[in-house]
Homo-oligomer: A and B are copies of this chain.
Amino acid sequence: MQKKIILKARAFLEEAIRDRFVSAGFPSCVKLAELGCSSGTNALLAISEIIDTIHEMSQRINCESPEFQVFLNDLPETDFNNIFKSLPAFYEGLMKEKGGKLGNCFVTGMPGSFYGRIFPTRSLDFVHSSASVHWLSQVPAGLKNNKGHIYMANTCRPDVLKAYTKQFQRDFTMFLGLRSEEIKPGGRMVITITGRSIEDPSSKDCCDLWELLAKSLLDMLADGLVEEADVDSFNLPMYNPFEGEVKALIEEEGSFNLDKLETFEASWDPYDDSDKTRSGQNVANCIRSATEPMLATHFGDAIIPDLFARYANRVAEHLSMEKGHHFLVVFSLTKK
């Protein structure tokens, strides 16, 4: 799924890069950050896109290709070793593709939460983040009475929906403020998040996927495999905003101009398998990779395989009745 989203954001990246460097020229070293890079190979995919585009642009105007210093960011618990071991092959691939013309490229790891300062003041030229900024800094403060759910849903109490909305407003505003200190004036940021298609926060296109996970947990509760108190107290630190919310918060925070915003859909199943059983399994694998650490911390490791087997079945059943789509919001910002 990550790969599809990055490819979809390509036009945004190209436009933002062109706008940034055609007007201001290339610095001798372009400083890039990938926020929420995770530990897979996708971490380097967007970076590779950005380097490609800048390199080609420099060749077209007969300039020397600049150096690149790349900061891969994620939480300190992330498996950076895995990414780092793949770097020699990544550099070799770049060299092979571009020959000796590409400027030096240095990929570093920056462990830390993007809800705190992670880069020196006015040090970055370009920031990218793919499917990360919809994760909140914490489960919403004051979230109670969300019995039977693990996220927003259309049968949630209004105060639950309000608590989620407030937490996102606070976190996203903080995120913009922190990045505005770190990005050079005129620097760009391209961000993709999963959002929702309508204003109603219990919109099915952001909530269905998690209701199916909640139901799988309730199935396990009915079978005596998890504790009721554990299910009641588990909630996802995530929010899928409507595009209007994103626009309003950017304007209100005031540090960035919103250059462009678009929305698009992506199937739950990145392989779009026609076999619903396999499709359910594919979706379960994706969701497992994103949520396993927090579920394991809360419920223990032991329940994970059973939970995601049940979840795969529930997703397959759902997909046999209707399609499932993530609703994505991609936007490009310029630091004032």
Query: Which residues in A have some Cβ–Cβ distance to B below 8 Å?
Result: 28-29, 67, 69, 71, 76-81, 84-85, 87-88, 104, 106-112, 117-121, 123
Contacts and interface: CB of A to CB of B under 8 A. Distances in A.
A112 B70 CA distance: 14
The 8 lowest CB-CB distance pairs between A and B, nearest first, are: A109-B109, A29-B120, A84-B111, A108-B108, A76-B84, A108-B110, A67-B120, A81-B81
B67 A29 contact: no
Number of copies: 2
Contact of A121 (B28, B87, B112, B121): B28
Contacts of A85: 76-77
Contacts of A87: 76, 111-112
Contacts of A77: 85
A80 B106 contact: no
A121 B67 contact: yes
Contacts of A123: 29, 69
Given A80-B81, A81-B79, A120 B108 contact: no
Given A80-B84, A87-B112, 16 more contacts: A29-B120, A29-B121, A29-B123, A67-B121, A69-B119, A69-B120, A69-B123, A76-B88, A80-B81, A81-B81, A84-B111, A104-B120, A106-B117, A107-B111, A108-B109, A108-B110
B79 A106 contact: no
A80 B85 CA distance: 11
A273 to B, nearest CB: 34
Contacts of A107: 111
22 contacts: A29-B123, A67-B120, A67-B121, A69-B119, A69-B120, A76-B87, A76-B88, A78-B81, A78-B84, A80-B80, A80-B81, A80-B84, A84-B109, A87-B111, A104-B117, A104-B121, A106-B112, A106-B117, A106-B119, A106-B120, A108-B108, A108-B110
Nearest to A67: B120
